[in-house]
Amino acid sequence: MIKNDLFLRALKGESVDRPPVWMMRQAGRYLPEFQEIKAKYDFFTRCQTPELASEITVQPIRRYGMDAAILFSDILVIPQAMNIEVEMKAGVGPWLPKPIRSRKELNEVVVPNIEQTLGYVMEAIKMTKDKLNNEIPLIGFAGSPWTILCYCVQGQGSKNFDKAKEFCFTQPELAHELLQKITDTTILYLREKVQAGVNAVQIFDSWGGMLSPVDYKEYSWKYIQQIIDALKDITPVIAFGKGCWFALDTMAKSGASALGVDWTCSPKNARSLTGGNITLQGNFDPTRLFSPPKEIKKMVKQMIDEFGKDRYIVNLGHGILPNIPLENAGAFIEAVKEYKAE
């Protein structure tokens, strides 16, 4: 039994004394103890070495005591497993030397054996579970098929993913084939993660907001829905689409246990669009963590008051930034732990 099950209770919609709190990207770059590991090992070595990944996962828990841990990994381990080369280039970020833009390249993309290609992730989960010692739940995650396609076709990060969108609109058949391969791999991967011990999973649709509402349904949501359908009976699923407020009504009917909301959608609108019956997660602007700690605490309290303490998980509206002062991140967590409803 997990001692602090606040996060899992919020996912079930149970009434709680205060909402649970964790932060997207909490295991990582803003922590000095993470920087020490980063100085010694390159990015994918950190992802692929279970001892390192599990250590990085628990670092923020030791420091701040969040109500859930999220496994340190990356969404791009999936294309790597699918026979697509992915590097992490200094000053560039993700770099895919051979982007998928034709039938020839797509034919080389495989739906892999998860144990053979991503077994290291399952080892990291088991080691992390040992370190957490049933204190708090562990979250596993994957990128949405659309978000993964964006990198596979563009070849790197982008402000508008124009090449990825052009690929979808000029070669829709290939695009859907690639999306389906990513979806099939993601389902297998997340199922293995649940087997290995994660207590919930989150799907990150980081680039969903790049699409119009019509294209979103066609190229992103229908694949996320397949993943939710495949997993919802074995684990709680959180769906998070950045910039996708327009799809919240559809998402609310998906069978997901919770929906992530970014800071461009107010708590009132998010509750209204989702019908008020589903757990919501978010939506503090990560850049707001530069505000003075006293102000952060005030804003967090206001945010909880607006969402309501039940069916709510406190989080940022996207990942924590690398240069956030430690004290400010602490103030964010403390504000939730100190919360008392009026």
Are the beta carbons of 19 and 314 closer than 8 angstroms?
yes
**What is the rounded distance in angstroms from the CA atom of residue 104 to the CA atom of residue 246?**
36
Nearest partner of 4 among 314, 18, 328, 13, judged by Cα: 18
27 is in an annotated binding site: yes
Read off the amino acid at residue 276: G
204 is in an annotated binding site: no
**What is the rounded distance in angstroms from the CA atom of residue 76 to the CA atom of residue 96?**
10
Neighbours of 268 (CB within 10 A): 10
74 is in an annotated binding site: yes
157 is in an annotated binding site: no
Angle between helices 326-337 and 293-307 in degrees, nearest 10: 40
26 is in an annotated binding site: yes
Residues sharing a CB contact under 8 Å with residue 146, sequence separation 6 or more, in sequence order: 179, 205, 207, 208, 211, 219, 220, 223, 224
34 is in an annotated binding site: no
44 is in an annotated binding site: yes
Task: Give the pairing of strands 87-89 and 93-95.
Answer: antiparallel
102 is in an annotated binding site: no
CA–CA distances in Å: residue 237 to residues 11, 89, 95, 225, 231 = 9, 31, 29, 11, 7
318 is in an annotated binding site: yes
Are the beta carbons of 219 and 146 closer than 8 angstroms?
yes
156 is in an annotated binding site: no
Please, what's the b/e burial string for 196-216 (b: 16 or more CB within 10 A of its CB; e: otherwise)?
bbbbbbbbbbbbbbbbeeeeb
Residues of each annotated binding site for substrate: 25-29, 44, 74, 151, 206, 318
Residues of each annotated binding site: 25-29, 44, 74, 151, 206, 318
